[in-house]
Amino acid sequence: MGTIGIEWVRKYHGLAGDLSNTKPQAEGFYNTLAATRQFAWGDDLAWDQDFEQKNVGSPTAGTDTTWADNVDMVFFSGHGSPSGFYFGVKTDDAQAKSTEIRWGDRDLEWIVLDACNVLEENGVFNRWGWPVFRGLHIILGFHTTTSDEADRGRILAQYLNAGNTVRQAWIKACQDTEGSDVQWAYLRADAPGTDTYNDHWWGKGSVSADPVNPNVLYYARGAC
């Protein structure tokens, strides 16, 4: 059985607008997916450095080998922008930037960034692609703004439990929870001998070997 972790932020203490539904959204994923639950941090205990690699980028604090990169799948729910995703306290600088992130060199296969615009198309390969994928299979997110809603984490987990591929499950969960002016997106990596297109959640179908040194990246987006 795979391992999972979640982080969510409702209270931004004036750094950005507060959100209402990030906690139930992330916890819906956590409590529904057939998985071993490893961590769940919210509000002031959710930190950007939990997603960042030590000594990479600036600031250099990073503890992803303990948290985000130490499980198979992570669900983050909060604010985002093309350059990163945001937290409510400045234990570091309150932003997990792609320039500080290397994922998959320890464990992480899939990460959901349920936040606006993180996977905006323009420049996505240079932001989140080549530097970040070190064994990671897929980043799931949005090309556009998304609404502050409570159900998507649970619905995603239900589709994964039902045996959909990871990318299918994300697309369906987004279609179920957003209007068609919102666009889902994902970014995935492959390398010789890997097939992350057909990845399933652990125990629900095939899972590719890790694309440790990817030679091809696919970015897809569509209307919800």
Partner 1 sequence: MNAQLELPTQVQAFQAPRELPLYATVPPGWTRDTVSALATRLDLQADVADAGPWFVCRSDAWTLEVYQASNSLRLERNGFDAEARAPIKAQADRDRAVVVAHRFLSDVGATKAQATVASVTELQVLKATKEHREGERSVAGLQVNFQYTLDGLWLVGPGAKAQVTVAPGGQIAQAYRFTRDVKQVGTRPTVAAEVALRRFAQSTALAQLPAGARVRVDSIQLGLLSLPPTEVQGVLLPAYVLRGEISTELLPHAGFISYLAAADLDEGEAKRQRWQQIRPTLLAA
- Residue 190, helix vs strand vs coil: strand
The answer, yes or no, to whether the previous bond of 59 is cis (omega within 30 of 0) is yes
> Is residue 125 involved in binding partner 1 (CB under 8 A)?
yes
Nearest 5 degrees, angle CA 62-CA 15-CA 221?
70
How far is C-alpha 207 from the chain's CA centre? Answer: 18
The dihedral through the CA atoms of 152, 157, 158, 162 has a sign that is positive
110 strand-pairing partners: 73, 138
> Is residue 77 involved in binding partner 1 (CB under 8 A)?
no
| Identified binder of partner 1 from the candidate list 53, 77, 146, 194, rule CB under 8 A | 146
As measured in angstroms, the least distance from the Cβ of 65 to partner 1 is 26
State both tokens at 25. Answer: 């959204």
φ and ψ at residue 154, rounded to 5 degrees: -65, -45
> Is residue 112 involved in binding partner 1 (CB under 8 A)?
no
As measured in angstroms, the least distance from the Cβ of 70 to partner 1 is 27
Nearer to partner 1, 111 or 124 (CB): 124
> Is residue 130 involved in binding partner 1 (CB under 8 A)?
yes
| Identified binder of partner 1 from the candidate list 176, 200, 205, 212, rule CB under 8 A | 176
> Is residue 96 involved in binding partner 1 (CB under 8 A)?
no
Chain position carrying tokens 């997110």: 141
Find the helix packing angle between 152-161 and 166-177, rounded to 10°: 140
Q: Which stretch binds partner 1 (CB under 8 A): 42-50, 52-60, 115-123, 201-209?
A: 115-123
Q: Which stretch binds partner 1 (CB under 8 A): 40-48, 65-73, 104-112, 175-183?
A: 175-183
- Residue 2, helix vs strand vs coil: coil
- Binding residues for partner 1, how many (CB under 8 A)? 56
Q: What does the binding site for partner 1 look like in residue numbers (CB under 8 A)?
A: 11-21, 24, 79, 81, 86, 94-95, 116-117, 121, 124-126, 129-130, 144-151, 155, 158, 162, 167, 172, 175-180, 182, 197, 215-224
